[in-house]
Amino acid sequence: MAPAPLRRPATSPSPPPASSRGRRAETRTQVSVAPRRNGTSAVLRLTHRHGPCAPARASSLAAPSVADTLRADQRRAEYILRRVSGAGAQQLVGSKAAATVPASWGYDIGTLNYVVTASLGTPGVAQTLEVDTGSDLSWVQCKPCAASSCYSQKDPLFDPARSSSYAAVPCGGSACAGLGLYASGCSAAQCGYVVSYGDGSNTRGVYGSDTLTLTATDAVQGFLFGCGHAQSGLLTGIDGLLGLGRLPVSLVGQTAGAYGGAFSYCLPTKPSTTGYLTLGGAASAAAPGFATTQLLTSPGAPTYYIVMLTGISVGGQALSVPASAFAGGTVVDTGTVVTRLPPAAYAALRSAFRSGMTAYPSAAPNGILDTCYDLSGYSTVTLPSVALVLSSGATLTLGADGILSFGCLAFAASGSDGGMAILGNVQQRSFEVRIDGDSVGFRPGAC
């Protein structure tokens, strides 16, 4: 089986964090922290997979428990850390400047990750797709697929036989050769694919092409994707996945000729609100309002977008952490829920945060989250501020939704000092994250 991409989840008094899914009643405590898009864009809506703004979930789709969500998040994080440490032409029609798709939390369809709705085929069939910056190959579940091989999803399975623009990718061609680590032999002269994710989930099937319609004026003709006939693991609710990684087979890679390889997204802070995913656009990561840092590359894991974390402050005070602890870089990953820090950095953050929370009663740890509080008796809670400092001085000052999740500090320790860290989706919420050429920009309060 080929090496693998990943998956993840969420934060505090709204819904939860971690790597895949989880549901639990939470108090509506008000939490505070102590001290737009280009007009030519078409819009893709980004929502949480479990959120009320996500497409309605079929009644048979149950959300996972918090414990399952955190375990899956841990498996994904461990996979990314292992991978990093070891580590065909499309024609577009419509607007070429930018395409923006609304994005949302997928809470109501069984996941704590984020989804967009696009259309696949001719005539177009709506598909609810999880967005993933930590993987490349896009795929949907396809007919024919036995009940034992495909999981329950929101929409009917995509049927390539009903699309006049679908074409199977033949073996021996350049598109099949371009699959690289996702290749999985041939079946009846059709190119096969397989993707294994960090949480143990996987998908396999045949490689094909069809028209992917992002908005009323933006379509990708000949979009290459996996037509999945056998899936397993923690996949649920979604119709498939939209890969936004750095390899040529990703949506970003396939549309680079039209949109320049730049993209941005904003993850909403609550299931009841929406964000967006934009391909291209006039703004750059260095535009006004963005905190900009250098984009780095790992030769052993070319899929990932990597930045350099250099420091952390709590309550306005810089933590004493050796610079060497951050030397491994930090993966910006929408699929990991909880940010992973080098052990020395996490220990310093945890100590400072606990010192700033002595007014509130502590609670039992929740899986990998070991700094938790019982806030049920409080109508308002004030948290010490937390800011992440990146190279070039770019600073991300987190809101309450980026600090607490499930009533716990939404950070955990990674493998070792000097190793890779991961910036999870909890800490990215409400920022516009723009990846453009050799830089990454963060603009606060964008959705």
Q: Is the pLDDT of residue 310 over 80?
A: yes
Q: Which of 73, 108, 132, 155 is catalytic?
A: 132
- Residue 104 pLDDT: 84
- Residue 283 pLDDT: 64
Residues 420 and 330 sit within 8 Å (Cβ to Cβ): yes
Mean pLDDT check: name the lowest of 1-10, 27-36, 375-384, 402-411.
1-10
CA 278, 50, 404, 381 dihedral sign is positive
Residues 7 and 21 sit within 8 Å (Cβ to Cβ): no
Q: Which of 333, 401, 417, 436 is catalytic?
A: 333
- Residue 256 pLDDT: 94
Closest CA to 276 of 152, 404, 100, 73: 100
Q: Is the pLDDT of residue 7 over 90?
A: no
Residues 410 and 12 sit within 8 Å (Cβ to Cβ): yes
Q: What is the overall mean pLDDT for the chain?
A: 83
pLDDT tens digits, one per residue of 258-300: 999 999 999 998 888 899 999 998 666 677 899 999 999 988 8
Q: Is the pLDDT of residue 37 over 50?
A: no
**DSSP letters for 190-230:** EEEEEEE-TTS-EEEEEEEEEEEEEETTEEEEEEEEEEEEE
In this prediction, residues 230-242 reach a mean pLDDT of 88
Distance of CA 387 to the CA centre of its chain: 21
Residues 19 and 76 sit within 8 Å (Cβ to Cβ): yes
Site of tokens 């994710």: 197
Instruction: Give the chain's end-to-end CA distance (angstroms, integer).
Output: 39
pLDDT tens digits, one per residue of 130-174: 999 999 999 999 999 888 898 888 788 999 999 999 999 999 899
* Cross-strand pairs, 359: none
- Residue 85 pLDDT: 64
Reply yes or no on whether 132 is catalytic. yes
Greater pLDDT, 282 or 207 = 207
3-state secondary structure of 137: coil
In this prediction, residues 320-329 reach a mean pLDDT of 96
Question: Quick one: pLDDT band at residue 59, thresholds 50, 70, 90?
Answer: very low
In this prediction, residues 365-371 reach a mean pLDDT of 94
Q: Is the backbone peptide bond immediately before 322 cis, with ω within 30 degrees of 0?
A: no
Q: CA 362 to CA 337: how far, in whole Å? A: 22
Q: Is the backbone peptide bond immediately before 384 cis, with ω within 30 degrees of 0?
A: no
Q: Which two tokens stand for residue 371?
A: 């700094």
Reply yes or no on whether 333 is catalytic. yes
Mean pLDDT check: name the lowest of 56-65, 176-185, 232-241, 393-402.
56-65
What DSSP designation does 179 have? T
Relative to beta strand 439-443, strand 291-294 is antiparallel
Q: CA 76 to CA 66: how far, in whole Å? A: 15
- Residue 434 pLDDT: 96
Residues 278 and 44 sit within 8 Å (Cβ to Cβ): yes
Q: Is the pLDDT of residue 204 over 70?
A: yes
Q: CA 323 to CA 346: how far, in whole Å? A: 13
- Residue 93 pLDDT: 45
> Which parts of 49-193 fold into alpha helices (H)?
66-85, 174-177
3-state secondary structure of 117: strand
Structural domain boundaries in the chain = 30-280, 291-443
Residues 440 and 431 sit within 8 Å (Cβ to Cβ): no
- Residue 344 pLDDT: 97
CA 71, 76, 77, 83 dihedral sign is positive
The whole-model pTM stands at 0.83
**CATH class label, 30-280:** mainly beta
What DSSP designation does 237 have? B
Q: CA 173 to CA 175: how far, in whole Å? A: 6
Q: Looking at the chain, how many residues does it have?
A: 447
Q: Is the backbone peptide bond immediately before 123 cis, with ω within 30 degrees of 0?
A: yes
Residues 370 and 350 sit within 8 Å (Cβ to Cβ): yes
Question: Would 30-280 and 291-443 be classified into the same CATH topology?
Answer: yes
Q: CA 107 to CA 54: how far, in whole Å? A: 7
The listed CATH number (2.40.70.10, 3.40.50.300, 3.90.1150.10, 3.10.28.10) that belongs to domain 291-443: 2.40.70.10
Closest CA to 341 of 355, 330, 356, 353: 330
